[in-house]
Amino acid sequence: MARWQPDAPGRLAAAALDLFEEHGYENTTVIEIAEHAGLTKSTFFRYFPDKREVLFGGGTVTGLLVQGIASAPSTAGPLDVVADALDALGRTFFTADRREFSRRRQAVLNATTELREREALKRIDLTASMIEALDRRGIPSLTARVAAQLGALVWEIAHDQWIDPGSTEDFGTLARRALADVRATGALR
Amino acid sequence: MARWQPDAPGRLAAAALDLFEEHGYENTTVIEIAEHAGLTKSTFFRYFPDKREVLFGGGTVTGLLVQGIASAPSTAGPLDVVADALDALGRTFFTADRREFSRRRQAVLNATTELREREALKRIDLTASMIEALDRRGIPSLTARVAAQLGALVWEIAHDQWIDPGSTEDFGTLARRALADVRATGALR
């Protein structure tokens, strides 16, 4: 019955989003998501531990961001490392063909407390992964924590702008501008 | 049956913590919490919408922090406003007699995914409340966002140190030192 599918997690996420929009998160089951994607329940559970996880990409974004931090130029300061990583993420993940999906996804998250909670936890986990990746570059621990928090804020600002219906700029450009704006606040003074 | 109790929410939180430690969060019911506190289920639901909320103080900390931000000296810069508010919180809420409870509470939160999620969402809500309070002081919106993020980080660092078994310093002192350390990273450069 179940057979290998290219990008099964992506199809499951798209199916889940359709159903959450139409019937609400609470009224949608894992079986319905799998069927809507033309897959089986056991395929679903191969990729996601539960329904709450299906819109969170199984750690892809975190992995790409950590990779981006690791491969930034060795001379870059902590915030520039984060900017480089967000830029890379814009080229590999937050691409134009994903913008509409991201916009719909965010609307569903914002409307569902259970998903907002999971999103909040993912943000903390993502920040923790950024801190570890910055630590591995030899950046002092507290500096890494500050840079990761500001990186998460820059991400949030850029992502909100990127999914705005009127927006045409790419994610990397928005992230670089948001970072420059955050710097210009001089809030650490 | 139910009668007015001084500090019923505090007694419910203490009872919940006892039971979560002894039997686990999953295996504890609202009725058991209420009984252990010598109160009724309906009293529980007068203060908390569900079991997940019982260790989160019903918005007391947020209220105190917002008040502290509003009443900081008018000449203070954004981060000093946050430092003042954290200091006030140390005098009114994170007092020595609450340290042991806070330490036990944090251990239970860290061990329970459902509570970690709720904590993560509370952190976002708290940050949003700080941003609004800073906005009301006329601080530019992005500066308020940066200051609130850094304030949340300072809070986290100070709170972790404050609940450390070897710690004897008060919360306000720890928060001021953490803020000075965060500033000294110069991570916005």
> Which position has the higher pLDDT, B34 or A74?
B34
3-class state of residue A178 by DSSP: helix
Query: For A1-34, how does the pLDDT look when each residue is reduced to its tens digit (9 = 90+)?
Result: 445 556 899 999 999 999 999 999 999 999 999 9
pLDDT at B60: 86
pLDDT at B3: 52
> CA of A154 to nearest chain B CA: how many angstroms apart?
10
Residues in B touching A118 (Cβ below 8 Å): 117
Among A52, A121, A53, A109, smallest CA distance to B113 is for: A121
B76 reaches A (C-beta below 8 A) = no
Residues in B touching A188 (Cβ below 8 Å): 79, 150, 182-183, 185-188
pLDDT at A57: 85
To which residue do tokens 């908390």 refer? B48
The CA distance from A13 to B97, in Å, is: 48
On the question of pLDDT at B127 being above 70, the answer is yes
The CA distance from A121 to A133, in Å, is: 18
pLDDT at A58: 76
* Cβ distance of A152 and B152 shorter than 8 Å: no
Query: For B42-90, how does the pLDDT look when each residue is reduced to its tens digit (9 = 90+)?
Result: 999 999 999 999 999 878 899 999 999 999 998 899 999 999 999 999 9
The predicted model scores a pTM of: 0.88
* Cβ distance of B116 and A121 shorter than 8 Å: yes
pLDDT band at B1 (very low <50, low <70, confident <90, very high): very low
3-class DSSP string for chain B: CCCCCCCHHHHHHHHHHHHHHHHCCCCCCHHHHHHHCCCCHHHHHHHCCCHHHCCCHHHHHHHHHHHHHHCCCCCCCHHHHHHHHHHHHHHHCCCHHHHHHHHHHHHHHHHCHHHHHHHHHHHHHHHHHHHHHHHHCCCCHHHHHHHHHHHHHHHHHHHHHHCCCCCCCCHHHHHHHHHHHHHHHCCCC
Residues in B touching A147 (Cβ below 8 Å): 187
pLDDT at B144: 96
Chain B residue with Cα closest to A149: B149
Which regions in chain A score pLDDT beneath 50? 1-2
Terminal-to-terminal C-alpha distance of chain B: 62
